[in-house]
Structure 1
Amino acid sequence: MPKELRKRGKKKKAQQAEQPEHVPQQPQKVEPSWIVQPKEETTQNDTEAPFGYVDVDVKAYFRTVDIQIRAWQDAARDLEDDGQSDPNEERRMFFVAALKEMAGKEKQLSTDPDCSIILERMLYSMDDFVRRVFVDSLAGSYDVLVKHRFASHVCQTLFTVAGQTIAREQRGILPVIATSEDSGELRTMTELIVDVCEELFAVSTVLVMDAFGSHVMRALLLLLSPTLAAKQEAGRGDVRSKKSAKWKARQGPLKSVFEEASNEDSIAYSQPAAFKSSVQRFLHAVRQGLDPNETRALAANKVASPTLQILLAVESEQQMTEEEDSLMDRVLVGLVSSSRNKANSDFPVSDYITTLLRDPTSSHLLETIVTECPANAFSNLWAIYFRGALPKIASHPVANFVLAKAFERVDVAQLVGIFTELKNVWEKMIQTSRTGVLRAVIDRAAALKSCGPEVTEAVWASIRATTADGKKLLVPCMLRLQTVQDYEKLGQQEGDQKRKRESDDDARQPKVQGAVLLQSLLRMPEPFNDLVIQSLQNFSMEEVLALAKHPISSRVLDALLDSSTVPTKAKRQFVQSLIGHYHTLVDDRIGSRVGDRCWAFSDTYLKEKIARSLISQESFLAASYYGKFFARNLNLYLLQRRPDEWRTAQANRTKFASATEVKQDANHTRSELPLTKKRKRDANRAKDEIDELFAGALGKKVKRTALEGLQETDTSTLLDSGLADVMGAIKAAPSEGKKQRKGRS
């Protein structure tokens, strides 16, 4: 066999055979692998479990805790309690036992791969006192925990829910603490968070670039800046990556299992003075730890770039952007300081910013820059890097997002120049489905209440509508992102079955980008939103119903009814056009939601017209899976017998209650409605005597879960004895029962 084809084991034996015989070999004592561990393995274990491993029995116990909390979070709340017992008492006792088992093991549980997610789930159900104890128990180790693979997510969740506790502390809602001589003073959550920041100031530059610590630092910065946190929740949040958010979604709902905490998830609070000082110290620490070149290098780093975005937003909120050597000035290569010192000078073009504009990672950073930079710096940034190159930027697959974000800050003069530069690019945007720039320019024109004719011209140019008949096809063409010629050609091929293909079927379906464009057009001032209104009025009833039953195109009708710039006359005309077809409209999952919006918009007179048109369809609505929910609002029984009371009841309904009832998410389905909370019976209603007899014989209602632990023989015995008691009670009071039944008839 050739030497190059020999195995590694053979070669090793040959080398051992070539050793000289006169070299004495010392006998080596071979220890079992479970006694002696290699140094590499020991180091790895210290990294994975810096505070030690969790005991097997403790881990098994917390698995049962996780299963129970999941069951409580997934189960529907039963509101048919008798009002005497606390429905949360059992859960509180369960949590007390779990917290006692967790005491002293918080660090080990946080670094455990299985128990860390259980701690995250428990944090949402902890009260303020327990959360403060948990934060205090981790004190002194945050510099290690925030860089740990699993403990970092526990810290992130802890900083997320800590805002609720801080908000209650500012309102003076503090838990009652039983003091003793042995226990020390427990600080408030605000003081504890400030101490956590003191631990992390020294490693702030490391956390910016750490794969596990960067998202913790983002969560902490948002906790220190509540105004910025509200903006992040309203827009696109950068706290979690897509991979992390997807993994967290698979863990089921993370929320409190107690009923009293269900409405306290989004409590706003003002920034304490200590938080303002801490966030400024974070900014100074990052500035001192990184030089300008290292700061600019963070833009293309997938880990550090989102954290740098938060730092720039915090710097702008603290009004520290125009300071000397600020982070914003570093990223813009001195443009902020130059704009402050030389307002009318020409600035050189930086290739670094041009690279940011077209890079998939750093373009998000540039979006934050154009949003948060000072006004004079934005004017120079627009003049240097955007003006004159708008057609290329608008057609770029990455840079067009930055351009759309920059449109939110342009003034009227700059907006007019935009329409001039992009007049030959609108059609290409529609054909390539990159409509973000067109939508942004329409929204900016609506906000400034100007450039209405320019918007109209851009819309007609985007679909190549040159004739009056072509302009009537605005809604179907814009929904499908097609020109008028392509839409008409597609309509001519519908009759030919041989030419139908899957691509043609996709071309006929409404697109999300087109629906968003139409909604933006409906928010334009009154003379200019007639483009969409007139196009909708040319639809046949079959086309309107098809539009209302589609999950994408139905949003256009929602904007028609909700937009404050659409005339009331056009809204009433649309609602009246559906009279005679409401039973068909609401017999659909999406169409029923549009029907609810039409009902919420209508006044009492229009509601009566809609209800009387559906009297003949009462049986149809009752048999419809979705229409029966719409029929509940009609109350046709009261309308037919006491119309005056029906009108009074409809007039007394507040607009706030109606809007809350119909404003649901697009993904919310009617199939979920039977699982909602049941109404409580009126406690003031007089109980009849026969109900009291049954209640006295059987006692309180027994839940089904209480019978699951009984054997079959025990259950039958219990039911038989209950029936015997009921029959005996009825025989004992025959006259009362007859009198009550007579009254019911």
Structure 2
Amino acid sequence: MTSFGSKALKSRRPQSHNLVETSQMAGEDNSSVQNGRKQGKNRRPRDAHLSMDKDHTKGNPSRRFPDKDVGAHNSSKHQNQSMPQKSILRKTVDPETTRYFSEIANMFESGGIDLEERPVVCGNALEETRGKELELATDTIISHILQTLLQGCDVEQLCGFLLSCTKEFPFIAMDKSGSHVAETSLKSLAVHLQDNEAYAAIDGALTKICQVIAVNSVDVMCSRYGSHVLRSLLCLCKGIPLDSLEGFHITKSSSILSERLNSRLPQPDGSHFSNLQQGFPHLLKFLVREMLICAKEDIATLQVNKYSSFVLQTALKLLMGDDQELLLVIPIILGSHSEDIAEAKFIETTAVPEIKYLLKDTAYSHLMEVILEVAPKALYNQFLTEVFRGSLFEISSHHCGSFVVQALVSSAKSQGQMDLIWGELGPKMKELLEIGKHGVVASLLAACQRLHTYGYESCRVLAAAVCSESESPSCIVPRILFLESYFFCEERSTWKWTKGYRMHTLGCLMLQTIFRYSSELIQSYITSITSIEPDLVFEAAKDAGGGRVVESFLSSDASAKQKQKLIATLRGHFGELSMLPSGSFTVEKCFTASNVSVKEMIASELLAVQSELSKTKHGPFLLKKLDVDGFAMRPDQWKSRQASKQTAYREFVAAFGSESKKSQNESFLRSLPSHVSTQKSLKKMREEIDRCLDTSHHPAPISTSEFSGLEKSMEKLGFSSFKRTKIEHGETATKVRNSKKFMENSMVTAFKKEKPKGWKKTLAKDEATPVSKAVVNSGYVQQPAKPANRNEKRRTQTDCLAPPLKKQKR
């Protein structure tokens, strides 16, 4: 840690304070500042008007490789642009001020300041900074002390500091040390937002800051340090907590890929933001619009600059859902010179060749991905028809352009849009796989599945891409599991599964998407996965991605006989597989999809490794989920309980599930609310049935009141067929459409067969629901149940990527 005290100040090297830093100050007498310190080892010189940095590849967080031709073109085009530049001197910090802040630092380090006195001391110390904010904030040592003061002062002193240094704030933000001071001041403002009385004062201070930042927008956005401060300012205006910005500033490629391959529709209404606090939406719109207006002449520089691209991406994400504002902002970012937006011609015809050319640039392609993700429908259609139509395969073939096409495909929202995209990319699926553009294919398959279109064609074309008509379909799944290895081998006809190699992440994701289709469409895939040799199935189950494929098959619409065939190949390996964090999920899925005899076999294998498995992080939950202790102590009761669960679930699925072939049940599933995922609802329904029938969760089985809880749970999951009707004399009739005897046949059978511990005989005569009455007649009532453990955390359905994810190289 950096020392704040006098010892640290004595160790400072002499500094020169006569150097200046130039920056654009359009319409201002103030000019840029360059602190007089020598640049550190890791500090790189910045040319604000150079389109491609010298360290572009080295400092590129996305790991894309820049296109040399584009970089050279843009550099020569923009680096010689002339801008009005002035300079100001940064005064040296006088010895008296240095001693004063050294004493303040020593007081904090020694703990000589009480918590009650801290705001007063910090406020008084900030008063001493008036007129000296620039030189103090950009000083290597004193800047640390300033951060401490800004964190400890009250909101009045904080706003006073910002108002006093408003004109110098852009230069403070662009400095290596000053940027930390600026960040700290914004985070301190966010803390005080909880006080409603301070909202007006904070609003006034931020308004002044935004006005000055807008005038200096080009320099701040292109600055390595200033761009980060500006993104924090934008997020503060939106109301996003600043303590969670690292994940928002630069989204990880794994998160982007997960969202693009998700089976849910995109949410253009901005509801993807969570934990929003009180913000300043009017300042957000003002700042974004004014920044772009002031930087309109230099927009070509901002498009291809790495740091300004980050700022523009953040601004667009924050405006997501505000179509009116986006239709004003995006054309300016694209370089539109039209003043009339009412014509609904957002992309100028003359700009289309330039847009296509710049898609090969790293920074611009990142920016275009976000534009496509947030673009309103009218603008997206114009992109699709005027920019990308006829060039989708060509753009996909480029290492940067392929990511833009992935964003384009993942953002499609209608059948007409998918018609155009599939017409160009669908027949070229094999060529895309051969040139290594697996992400484009995976996005295309996910979009078809999400929009329920081209399902048959996508399954057929993918299978044809890895297996010729003369070959056996058994090779389809193995080749997709090792997609890169297969397509890059010299003799594909002699390719064989090599043990010990990690499976291809995107290939596994493609198979997960495929197994969401109905069994009629994926018969070749089912034949392939069920014909894999047992030792290779075990190899796949041990792999993080391969295990997800096995799980997706067991959750698919394949027949129970086909699933049992695959599960049988893992006999003798469940104990070893359960020791792996990812393998435990596969074991659980196999247990769920098995009949009672296979469940008994799985439980016995886990019992053999129970002592070792219980020491792992995931082991206790798996042992509890499969009730291995119950199996060890009372195997007969355990088997009876598992049979009851299976009967209850089978009867429910027969009435409501996707496995039913009855048209009335299929129409019921189609009638579910749009936000309800059928697969997830059935999964939760299974959990509800397990909860009600599992004595491991309920030491005493369930009384009549618990049935109403199950019915309410079903209604929340979208199964609206559960209805309750109250009658005057206390009678309640429970009617279930399509299966009147469902509850009675499943629940009562479970109670009569199991006679679980904790239930007492009763002679009570009670007129209740047909189900509860039958339970009472069976002679059992429930004792109080203990709540389930809330600390159990498991992998969710939306977590579709197998950790650790292998990033796509850009």
Give the TM-score, by structure 2 length.
0.55
Q: Which among 275, 285, 288 is matched to residue 268 of structure 1?
A: 275
How far the C-alpha of 1:465 sits from its partner, in A, is: 3.6
Whole-angstrom distance in 2 between the partners of 1:98 and 1:605: 69
Q: Which among 547, 551, 557 is matched to residue 554 of structure 1?
A: 547
SS of aligned partner of 2:695: helix
Structure 1 pair 138/624, CA: closer, same or farther in 2 (3 Å)?
Answer: closer
User: Could you tell me whether the CA contact under 8 Å between 2:627 and 2:696 is conserved in 1?
Assistant: no
One-letter code aligned to 2:227: S
How high is the sequence identity, in percent, across the aligned residues?
A: 18
SS of aligned partner of 1:320: helix
Look up the match of 1:219.
Answer: 232
User: Could you tell me whether the CA contact under 8 Å between 2:241 and 2:277 is conserved in 1?
Assistant: no
User: Could you tell me whether the CA contact under 8 Å between 1:316 and 1:372 is conserved in 2?
Assistant: yes
Report how many residues are paired.
548
Larger Rg computed on CA atoms: 1
Whole-angstrom distance in 2 between the partners of 1:524 and 1:232: 38
Q: Which among 696, 700, 705 is matched to residue 649 of structure 1?
A: 696
How far the C-alpha of 1:412 sits from its partner, in A, is: 2.0
SS of aligned partner of 2:549: helix
How far the C-alpha of 1:567 sits from its partner, in A, is: 8.1
How far the C-alpha of 1:453 sits from its partner, in A, is: 1.9
Q: Which moved more, 1:280-289 or 1:213-222?
A: 280-289
User: Could you tell me whether the CA contact under 8 Å between 1:336 and 1:377 is conserved in 2?
Assistant: no
Q: Which among 502, 506, 514 is matched to residue 513 of structure 1?
A: 506
How far the C-alpha of 1:360 sits from its partner, in A, is: 1.4
Look up the match of 1:238.
Answer: 249
Whole-angstrom distance in 1 between the partners of 2:468 and 2:241: 43
Give the TM-score, by structure 1 length.
0.59
Whole-angstrom distance in 2 between the partners of 1:391 and 1:231: 38
Whole-angstrom distance in 1 between the partners of 2:522 and 2:192: 46
SS of aligned partner of 1:509: coil
CA offsets, 1:307-343, max 9 Å, x none?
A: 22333445564443476xx332234454998895378
User: Could you tell me whether the CA contact under 8 Å between 1:309 and 1:365 is conserved in 2?
Assistant: yes
Whole-angstrom distance in 2 between the partners of 1:543 and 1:35: 67
Look up the match of 2:402.
Answer: 400
How far the C-alpha of 1:400 sits from its partner, in A, is: 1.2
One-letter code aligned to 1:437: V
One-letter code aligned to 1:204: A
Whole-angstrom distance in 1 between the partners of 2:243 and 2:526: 35
Look up the match of 1:388.
Answer: 390
Whole-angstrom distance in 2 between the partners of 1:49 and 1:566: 76
Structure 1 pair 540/153, CA: closer, same or farther in 2 (3 Å)?
Answer: farther
Q: Which among 335, 353, 356 is matched to residue 354 of structure 1?
A: 356
Structure 1 pair 270/318, CA: closer, same or farther in 2 (3 Å)?
Answer: farther
CA offsets, 1:90-142, max 9 Å, x none?
A: xxx9977987875555678865546867988999xx89x96887566544325
Structure 1 pair 593/337, CA: closer, same or farther in 2 (3 Å)?
Answer: farther
1:435 maps onto 2:445 in alignment: no
Look up the match of 2:456.
Answer: 453
User: Could you tell me whether the CA contact under 8 Å between 1:587 and 1:625 is conserved in 2?
Assistant: no
User: Could you tell me whether the CA contact under 8 Å between 1:393 and 1:400 is conserved in 2?
Assistant: yes
CA offsets, 1:201-257, max 9 Å, x none?
A: 123242443212222222221222248999999xx8435999xxxxxxxxxxxxxxx
SS of aligned partner of 1:420: helix
Whole-angstrom distance in 2 between the partners of 1:202 and 1:151: 16
Structure 1 pair 311/620, CA: closer, same or farther in 2 (3 Å)?
Answer: closer
Structure 1 pair 422/493, CA: closer, same or farther in 2 (3 Å)?
Answer: closer
How far the C-alpha of 1:401 sits from its partner, in A, is: 1.0
User: Could you tell me whether the CA contact under 8 Å between 1:475 and 1:518 is conserved in 2?
Assistant: no
Whole-angstrom distance in 1 between the partners of 2:575 and 2:15: 78
Q: Which among 603, 628, 639 is matched to residue 611 of structure 1?
A: 603
CA offsets, 1:147-188, max 9 Å, x none?
A: 33223235436646866764xx3xxxx6xxxxxxxxxxx943
How far the C-alpha of 1:449 sits from its partner, in A, is: 0.5
Q: Which moved more, 1:631-640 or 1:278-287?
A: 631-640
How far the C-alpha of 1:526 sits from its partner, in A, is: 5.5
Q: Which moved more, 1:525-534 or 1:415-424?
A: 525-534
Whole-angstrom distance in 2 between the partners of 1:475 and 1:120: 57
Q: Which among 583, 591, 595 is matched to residue 575 of structure 2?
A: 583
User: Could you tell me whether the CA contact under 8 Å between 1:300 and 1:362 is conserved in 2?
Assistant: yes
Structure 1 pair 302/637, CA: closer, same or farther in 2 (3 Å)?
Answer: closer
How far the C-alpha of 1:434 sits from its partner, in A, is: 1.9
Whole-angstrom distance in 1 between the partners of 2:597 and 2:791: 16
Gaps of 5+ in 2: 1-12, 21-33, 38-88, 254-272, 642-693, 700-785, 805-810
CA offsets, 1:594-634, max 9 Å, x none?
A: 43565688899986663245445546657989867744655
CA offsets, 1:476-522, max 9 Å, x none?
A: 4343325489598586789xxxxxxxxx999x532223223223333
SS of aligned partner of 1:539: coil
Whole-angstrom distance in 2 between the partners of 1:367 and 1:429: 19
Structure 1 pair 278/209, CA: closer, same or farther in 2 (3 Å)?
Answer: same
SS of aligned partner of 1:450: coil
One-letter code aligned to 2:36: Q
User: Could you tell me whether the CA contact under 8 Å between 2:158 and 2:185 is conserved in 1?
Assistant: no
User: Could you tell me whether the CA contact under 8 Å between 1:522 and 1:529 is conserved in 2?
Assistant: yes
1:300 maps onto 2:433 in alignment: no
SS of aligned partner of 2:378: helix
RMSD, aligned CA: 5.2
Whole-angstrom distance in 1 between the partners of 2:394 and 2:191: 46
Structure 1 pair 36/415, CA: closer, same or farther in 2 (3 Å)?
Answer: closer
One-letter code aligned to 1:238: H
CA offsets, 1:52-72, max 9 Å, x none?
A: 65855665777799xxxxxxx
How far the C-alpha of 1:393 sits from its partner, in A, is: 1.1
